[in-house]
Structure 1
């Protein structure tokens, strides 16, 4: 298993496999029907994460409400992860 680049490294400098390892490390699961779509469940919310060509999309669901955000691949992995963990 390969290691991830340092956390301050922008996502666009990660290999696809590194991005997959990162999402797996968060506990996200890749969907069977779409290899670019991941599901991530936390105690207070769930999220769908899409590895799009231009940006990373996150759609959170919590208590019947939905919030969506797009993150540039130019942002660091730590910054994107912190925003994702903050939830909707």
Structure 2
């Protein structure tokens, strides 16, 4: 699917409805993030970036905004099947 596009559309809609700013997400998008958007009902923002862009984006965000920048990795290990498939 088009996860990055869906993430951005959801973020724009939520920010408008909840009265939140998308400044963090927009800065990340315009500076190389693969995708970014408000997480849940905000105000936290999730940014997906390539490993080679991580340090640069993190420093930029820390200089520009208050708050904490946390770094996590995507777990690509397939989940084991807990419940047998019905089909």
Q: Above 0.5 in TM-score?
A: no
Write 1 or 2 for the structure with the bigger share of helix.
2
Largest Rg, 1 or 2: 2
- Shorter-chain TM-score tier: 0.3 to 0.5
TM-score w.r.t. the length of structure 2 is 0.32
Write 1 or 2 for the structure with the bigger share of strand.
1
